[in-house]
Structure 1
Amino acid sequence: MNEPTAYGRPAGHETAAVEVHTPTPIVPAHTAPLMPVQPGTIPAVASVVLPDGRVVTGYAIEPAKPEPVVAKPAVSRAAVNIALGGVGFLAVCGGLLLLTTFITALTALITQLITLAAVIFGGYVAVQIFKPAGAKSGNTFHIRKAIFKRNHFNG
């Protein structure tokens, strides 16, 4: 029962017959005649006849056009930004210089006003203290419970 056949397989396991399928060629379809079309609405259709007689039809592909080269400016953006930053810095420095000048002038004015007030008040006090003895004045200055009257200490 399990005796090998001529091909080395046991009996009863014969292979089925092999079927070969051959593709059927497709008959080329005949295209309808082309109608004239105004240019610009539909791209041109190109037809190519192959050596075996088949006709291949398709749209013509226009070659890719390179993008126009944009001319670079003579000066780069970075250089312009740096220059504008320098101009702004100089403007700020000028403003700060004016501000410090104003503060210095204001300080000098306040110092002069204080000095003027001290001179006027000190002069008034000096005139009152150093009056001649014959002058009759009734100014009395109380300092620590001591009384100065007419340049004499009465303690």
Structure 2
Amino acid sequence: MYPEHLGHLPAERAVTIHQPVPLAPVQAAPLVPVQPGGIPAVASIVLPDGRVVTGYAINPVQPEPVAAKPAVSRAAVNIALGGIGFGAVCGGLLLLTTFIAALTALITQLITLAAVIFGGWIAVQVFSASGHRDGTTVNIRKAVFKRNHFHG
């Protein structure tokens, strides 16, 4: 086993402890003016303790302009458009109901016409049958039913 596992450190592994050193407060120094143009110039700031900090000057971020509210609210526009759409649909529904009513009247007239023609054909068959003597005619004058038997 290694000695560090037993709680002992070898001499070559001595621990060095560093204590933090507090920084002196920094006062803002005047900025070096930036050259006009597309590429910003490198600016340098001299701190009160004599140190020089160099870097690019950054323009402050401009806030986005607030969008102006429209004179009419979105809800009012949506309601108006809904009313226009409803009016257009009502016109179509009126045409649809008119079409359905006309189709119903046509079907009713066709059924009535079929009933008249079929009824006329049946009437012709019934009334014309009495004039024909082609079939066998059976005349029953006296019919006696006894014990479910027919005696003529």
Per the normalisation by structure 2, the TM-score is 0.47
Structure with bigger helix share is 2
Per the normalisation by structure 1, the TM-score is 0.47
